[in-house]
Amino acid sequence: MDQFIGQLRQKMQEFRIGVLRVEDVDEASGKIILTVSEADAAMYQQKKMHQGSTAF
């Protein structure tokens, strides 16, 4: 499970989707609560748009 989460986290950052966080794991029930922060993805899009508007 840890390896899967690590790989998923890395790919999400690589593709600028967002930052994955594991909030809670209940091993007894098998429930996992994950959150994704889109702040980095939004900043990447703004930077990309800004660069595109100033390119000659």
**How does pLDDT run across 11-53, given as a tens digit for each residue?**
888 888 888 889 999 999 999 999 988 765 566 666 666 665 4
Question: What pLDDT score does 56 carry?
Answer: 39
Determine the average pLDDT of the residues in 5-9. 89
Residue recorded with tokens 């702040």: 39
Structure tokens belonging to residue 4: 């899967």
Cβ atoms within 10 A of the Cβ of 37, count? 13
Question: What pLDDT score does 48 carry?
Answer: 63
Q: pLDDT confidence of 55, banded at 50, 70, 90?
A: very low
Nearest to 25 by CA among 40, 12, 10, 35: 35
